[in-house]
Structures are given as C-alpha cells and as structure tokens.
Amino acid sequence: ITGELLAHVIELLLEVGAADVWVTPIVMKKGRPAHTMHCLCLSDKNSEREDRLLEALFRHTTTLGVRIYRNLPRAKLCRSVEVAQTPYTATRREGKVDVKVSSFQTGEILSIKPEFDHCQEISKESCIP
C-alpha cells in the first residue's frame, strides 16, 4: 500500500467518524516493510460508527483483519479555550487567536497553545512569518 493511499484512507476514516488515525511503519516477518494503521473510535451504543470504520478499512486497504480493543481507560488533563488578542487587528480575525489551556484539576496550568490555523490566517493576511 502506498503512502498516498495511506493518506487517503486516513482522510476517509476521519470523515466517517474516527476520533484520530495514525500510521506506524513496522518490519514484519522475513524483514518485510509494512505499516500499522491505528484508528481511535469513540464507543456508541449501536456500533454504527464502528461498522462504518471497519467497512472503510476493509474496502480501502489490503488488510484481512482488524484488532479491536474496547473500553480502554484514558487519563486526560482539564482543557479550556481562551481568546488571546494579538497586535494584528487589521485581519478578518481582528487579531484574535484561540488558545488551548491544559491544566491539572488543581488549576495548575501545564501548557498554553495557540490555535495554529488562527495564527496561520493572521500570518497570511498580515504578511508576517
């Protein structure tokens, strides 16, 4: 399977409901290069989303089987989105950029990350890097 096809399948899986998709290069038996495709799916009661994802995997890849792990525990930080004002107000966003704030439940902030797409838009409109 080519890199172009892998990218296409990733796009398809995201369109039909995957929470995230990524590919890992691996070496199989006899030293054969291959890829493992990982697809995260939020569980729903009627498994409709899972069925759509499995169908896409079987139709658009050469796989003969899929390993399914259910009810995996997840640890996560508290997240919020704030708005930061930049000096670049002569843009469609009026200089405003969403920033994602990650913190512990105690309120201790671990990271603040600007929304890349917002920064990119302001960069293009303002002709700045």
pTM: 0.69
Q: How confident is the model at residue 12 (pLDDT cuts 50, 70, 90)?
A: very high
Tell me what pLDDT residue 61 has: 94
Tell me what pLDDT residue 43 has: 79
Rounded average pLDDT over 97-109: 96
Statement: residue 46 has pLDDT above 90: no
Tell me what pLDDT residue 95 has: 93
Asked if residues 92 and 118 have their Cβ atoms less than 8 Å apart, the reply is no
CB atoms within 10 A of CB 21: 19
Tell me what pLDDT residue 47 has: 81
Using a 10 angstrom Cβ sphere, with 0-12 exposed, 13-18 middle and 19 or more buried, the burial of residue 13 is buried
Rounded average pLDDT over 78-93: 94
Tell me what pLDDT residue 92 has: 92
Statement: residue 44 has pLDDT above 80: no
Average model confidence (pLDDT) across the chain: 93
Q: How confident is the model at residue 45 (pLDDT cuts 50, 70, 90)?
A: confident
What is the spatial distance between Cα 102 and Cα 78, in angstroms, rounded to a whole number?
A: 6
Secondary structure class of 79 (helix, strand, coil): strand
